[in-house]
Amino acid sequence: MKNSKIAIIGGGNLGIAIAEGLLKSVFAQPSQITVTRRTLSRIEFLKEKGVTITDNNAQAIATSEIIIVALKPYNVKDVLASLKDQFDPKKHVVISVVTGISLQELASIVGNDISLFRAMPNTAIAIQQSVTCVCTTNGTRQQADFVTDLFNNLGITIAIDEKLMDAATVLGACGIAYALRFIRAATQGGIEIGFDAKTANLISAQTVKGAAELLLQLGRHPEEEIDKVTTPKGCTIVGLNEMEHQGFSSSLIKGISSSYKKIQS
Ligand SMILES: NC(=O)c1ccc[n+]([C@@H]2O[C@H](COP(=O)([O-])OP(=O)(O)OC[C@H]3O[C@@H](n4cnc5c(N)ncnc54)[C@H](OP(=O)(O)O)[C@@H]3O)[C@@H](O)[C@H]2O)c1
């Protein structure tokens, strides 16, 4: 499967980010990648990098083995239904990154005999820093290894049960927005205490990156690292406790819970 051709159906925000991540990785050559959408002018820049672009989904599927579906939830069923006859169970593996459309729903459109995966990446996939949660019901071990390898080239991959896909969407995909809002707020605070906006933003972003790397690289618990920087009666603990008095952790947990309720409604 290593040299399979990959078609990304729906070259919007996420579809483009996946293509950009693949281009930066060693996983696929540009000539192995096709991206489709109706407004081709928006993905002309991918063509300049050697990617095939087309508004012909059927052709993209016919010339590829791995089909990544990155359409919006509201039109995925109609578009896939119109392409139903293009899918070949002996040839194709379909990976849907569409929010809220189950493997069962996908199978009812493209056929039960097609190997189907759902994947939930986030937009950091463009720089190979996504966390991508993946599930399947009928993919073979070899196909699952291939899909894991693909997304490992674009960040890290975690195999989950499909019942956790909504939770993965909130924590991983929406999580990018929560983290960015934290950085923006920290930047606003940084400006208030004396930095220009650009410097405050750089300090805030790199600090969040460093904090995350402490956990990822050293396997530490967040509170263990917090203890190291909270001197008794010092400025960090005073600020941190004030944030908690104002509902910092609670508002984050409530926000995640609200996003989850919304996705399930
Ligand atoms: N953005 C994220 O962070 C993220 C994360 C995880 C999962 N997702 C999921 O990924 C999916 C895509 O999200 P997105 O943010 O990338 O949306 P998006 O920017 O709207 O991308 C969807 C693309 O599909 C194209 N399209 C529509 N009809 C088409 C057709 N018949 N054939 C080929 N292309 C067609 C649209 O372009 P044209 O109008 O030019 O055709 C559009 O650019 C959604 O289901 C979303 O839930 C998104």
Which pLDDT value is given to residue 3? 86
- pLDDT one-digit tens code per residue, 84-142: 999 999 999 999 999 999 999 999 999 999 999 999 999 999 999 999 999 998 999 99
Which pLDDT value is given to residue 26? 85
Residue whose pair of structure tokens reads 């070899």 in the numeric block: 142
Work out whether strand 130-136 and strand 115-120 pair parallel, antiparallel, or are unpaired: antiparallel
Residue whose pair of structure tokens reads 């990822």 in the numeric block: 216
Q: Can you tell me the distance from the alpha carbon of 254 to that of 208, in angstroms, rounded to the nearest whole number?
A: 21
Q: Which atom of ligand 1 is nearest to the CA of 36?
A: 33
Q: How many helices (H) and strands (E) does the chain have?
A: 12, 8
Read off the pLDDT of each residue in 33-55 and give the average, rounded to a whole number. Answer: 97
Ligand 1 center from residue 17 Cα (angstroms): 11
Global confidence as pTM: 0.93
Give the list of residues 6+ apart from residue 113 with CB closer than 8 angstroms, or none. 89
Share of the chain above pLDDT 90, in %: 97
Which of 44, 72, 125 has most ligand 1 atoms within 8 Å of CB, for mutation? 72
Ligand 1 center from residue 245 Cα (angstroms): 40
Read off the pLDDT of each residue in 185-192 and give the average, rounded to a whole number. Answer: 98
Share of the chain above pLDDT 70, in %: 100
Would the pLDDT of 2 be above 90?
no
Ligand 1 center from residue 98 Cα (angstroms): 8
CA angle 9, 12, 13 (to 5 degrees): 130
